[in-house]
Amino acid sequence: MSELGGAAASRGPVVLSARGLTRVHTGGPVPVTALGGVDLDLRLGELVAVMGPSGSGKSTLLHLLGGLDAPTSGSVMLAGDDLAAMDRAGRARVRRRRVGYVFQDLNLMPLLTALENVALPLELDGVPPKTARREAVEALAQLDVANLASRFPGQLSGGQQQRVAIARSLVGPRRVVLADEPTGALDSVMGEEVMRVLRGRVDAGAAAVVVTHDARLAAWADRTIFLVDGTVVDEAIAMGPGALLAEGGGRPW
């Protein structure tokens, strides 16, 4: 079983930092403020969960953190690069190298097999195909879908596709994982397994932000931030299990 760090667990340097992150959509008849000024620091070794009602800006936040979208104002520093100062292509390059992203709608390539989907980000980064495939198989195996490697997305169930998408976010040396509802289509045991895998990756020196509606899964994170109407309204920081253990061990409450 994975060791869950408490507040006292040792953390690395800040790898992802957002300041005053705001996104206003101006396409429609009235401007929509999807995100209204969010600050966030993510350290290596840290897992952060984001919760909040539908439409509260969770996906928007993740898009901005991953450089998939540009903020109306505010800044994102990703491993030393200022994403706001880059053009679209620059952000895409940084994202591919640094970020494993699990999209809310998965975004698997329909004409590539599960294995090819997972190997793709590595191959785009110039990893030799053989190595890329080997790493892809390992990632698929971690999520218990290695036996489905040669299937196309259309031949997989929703939960299986989700696991392939998670595997794709975990391959290679990328140390920041941004996952948008990665467990939505999974049963409760598999959902927990995914959190265990993510937790393991983070404890091995990565960092992750996970959007989830499931409090039981959010509890695996070091802290949970609650978004409402585009702003962070609360934050719950995990303490170690010691917080529950009375003197003498045994009885926790």
Burial of 18 (0-12, 13-18, 19+ CB in 10 A): buried
Which of 5, 45, 57, 67 forms a contact with ligand ATP (CB under 6 A)?
57
Q: Choose the contact partner of 34 out of Mg ion, other proteins, ligand ATP, none; CB within 5 to 8 A by kind.
A: ligand ATP
- Residues 40-79, one symbol each (x = binds other proteins by CB under 8 A, - = not), give -------------x--------------------------
Q: Does 56 bind Mg ion (CB under 5 A)?
A: no
Question: What amino acid occupies position 94?
Answer: V
Which of 17, 22, 59, 161 forms a contact with Mg ion (CB under 5 A)?
59
Residue 76 CB, shortest distance to other proteins, in Å, is 26
Report CA dihedral (206, 73, 57, 231) to the nearest 10 degrees.
90
In terms of CB distance, is 57 or 121 closer to ligand ATP?
57
Q: Which two tokens stand for residue 208?
A: 């992750």
Residue 37 CB, shortest distance to ligand ATP, in Å, is 14
Residue with structure tokens 């990565």?
206
Residue 209 CB, shortest distance to ligand ATP, in Å, is 13
Helix (H) / strand (E) element for 78: namely strand 73-78
In terms of CB distance, is 63 or 133 closer to ligand ATP?
63
In our burial notation (b when 16+ CB lie closer than 10 A, e otherwise), range 160-187 reads: bbbbbbbbbbbbbebbbbbbbbbbbbbe
Q: Does 27 bind ligand ATP (CB under 6 A)?
A: yes
Question: What amino acid occupies position 108?
Answer: L
Q: Which two tokens stand for residue 244?
A: 């529950």
Q: Does 124 bind other proteins (CB under 8 A)?
A: no
Q: What does the DSSP assignment read for 43-67?
A: ETT-EEEEE--TTSSHHHHHHHHTT
- Binding residues for Mg ion, rule: CB under 5 A, are 58-59, 104
- Binding residues for other proteins, rule: CB under 8 A, are 1-4, 6, 53, 187-188, 214-216, 218-221, 224, 226, 233-241, 243-245, 249-253
